[in-house]
Amino acid sequence: MANFLKQYIQYQKPQINMLLALCLPLAGAVYNFGWRSALYVLFSMFCCWFAEYLFTRRENKPASAASLVTGALLGLISPPNVPFWMVAVGAFFCIIFAKMVFGGFGKNIFNPAMVGRCFLYISFPAALAASWYVPFQGGAAGFAAYTSLTRTADVDSSMYKIDAVTSATTLTAVKRLNQVRREALANHKDVEADKALKAFEEIDLGRLFVGNINGSQGETSALLILLAMAFLLYQKVLFIPLLLGPFIGLFCAKLLLHVMGLETLPLLHSYLINVFAGGTFFAAIFMVTEPISAPVNNKARWIYAFVIGFLAAIIRSLSAFNAGFMFAILLGNTFGPLIEIGVTEWEKSKKGSLK
């Protein structure tokens, strides 16, 4: 059996460790949204593997295990109830245009899973961003069901009664609350401003941490993702600068927005909501830390990760999109080589000046 698999999948221990770690958010996805989530992720993995194998088989080589990781990531960062054909389109697109056109494994500039997610996000916005589903609650929850069919309320109807489950996604509601409060304060409407603030303060961080909320399938539970992070740290798969940098950048951006008056909601609570919601932990641990598209120089890694976190907060707060980390990671991938070149040249010039 092992020899048979070697013909089709190249064994890569770091990628296998990543797949093992992703089993934890996958379990959370099944609990929240039913067994369709597991089938969806497995289908995404197959599509990514098959797309890569169509290229590698011409050289009598197996597809990389990284293709399975890409498929798992793409499936987990997709909302529940996205059609299967849609993830197949995203899988083939990300493998072909974000990986194989650059020469295959180890040569890609962009994170393939994030490219696939961005392509789907732009091509099918209604399925990827406008439609969310209420997760199962209590008992066996999704382990006893195939899929959730209950849609969440829209942001305006649920804005003042956020329970992070049946309402619009938390970040969407928070952005709307901030907009309402800023306008109310500017127009001296204290009652409306206080109403928005009260709704914001009632957001339960504990529920966000556990993750029994609506959102993309594998991104909701900070608890499970942190357990996965602990496993990856034990396996020495993650680099600390890439792991911590996004959270520092995110805080600095939120602080700047607060000082500039663009955000009127309490800073610390707003920062924690941004950390526990919107897939921040998932993006920081599984996406920013991807070694192929990230710099190698340690100082460059700090700058790269910081910039991603900073841009993610700016995009979330000031643009029409909540997928801040998606766009920020792709921008980081774009400018990562320039950051590394700049840091390397600076270090060389510094050493030269000391001689």
pLDDT tens per residue, range 33-82: 999 999 999 999 999 999 999 999 988 899 999 999 999 999 999 998 89
- Cβ atoms 7, 62 nearer than 8 A: yes
In a domain, 19, yes or no: yes
pLDDT above 70 for 352: yes
Which whole number is the average pLDDT over 300-304?
97
In a domain, 117, yes or no: yes
pLDDT above 90 for 309: yes
Judged by DSSP in three states, 149 sits in coil
Judged by DSSP in three states, 83 sits in coil
The model's pTM: 0.93
Angle at 121 between CA 144 and CA 148, to 5 degrees: 15
In a domain, 312, yes or no: yes
- Which pLDDT tens digit goes with each residue over 182-225? 999 999 999 999 999 998 888 888 888 988 888 889 999 999 99
CA distance 221 to 279: 9
Which whole number is the average pLDDT over 133-141?
86
Which among 128, 150, 180 is the end of a domain?
Answer: 128
Domains identified in the chain, total number = 2
Which whole number is the average pLDDT over 316-344?
91
CA distance 28 to 210: 9
The whole-number pLDDT of residue 354 equals: 62
The whole-number pLDDT of residue 131 equals: 74
In a domain, 173, yes or no: no
Which among 128, 151, 166 is the end of a domain?
Answer: 128
The whole-number pLDDT of residue 127 equals: 86
In a domain, 160, yes or no: no
CA distance 266 to 337: 36
Looking at every residue in the chain, the average pLDDT score rounds to 90
Q: Centre a 10 Å sphere on the Cβ of residue 250 and count the other Cβ atoms it contains.
A: 27
CA dist 178 to 49, 197, 208, 229, Å?
Answer: 43, 8, 19, 32
In a domain, 267, yes or no: yes
In a domain, 174, yes or no: no
Stronger pLDDT, 90 or 167, i.e. the higher one? 90
Residues of the chain with pLDDT > 90, as a percent, come to 66
Which among 86, 111, 128 is the end of a domain?
Answer: 128
Residues of the domain holding 99: 2-128
CA distance 132 to 89: 21
Residue 349 is which amino acid?
S
The whole-number pLDDT of residue 277 equals: 84
Stronger pLDDT, 209 or 6, i.e. the higher one? 209
Q: What is the DSSP letter of 151?
A: B
CA distance 41 to 217: 9
pLDDT above 80 for 4: no
The whole-number pLDDT of residue 323 equals: 80
CA 271 vs. chain centroid, Å, equals: 17
- Which pLDDT tens digit goes with each residue over 255-293? 999 999 999 999 999 999 999 987 899 999 999 999 899
Q: Dihedral angle at the C-alpha atoms of 105, 109, 115, 118, nearest 10 degrees?
A: 170
- Both tokens assigned to 86: 């849609």
Stronger pLDDT, 150 or 314, i.e. the higher one? 314
- Both tokens assigned to 30: 């099944």
In a domain, 275, yes or no: yes
The whole-number pLDDT of residue 193 equals: 92
Given pLDDT bands bounded at 50, 70 and 90, which one contains residue 249?
Answer: very high
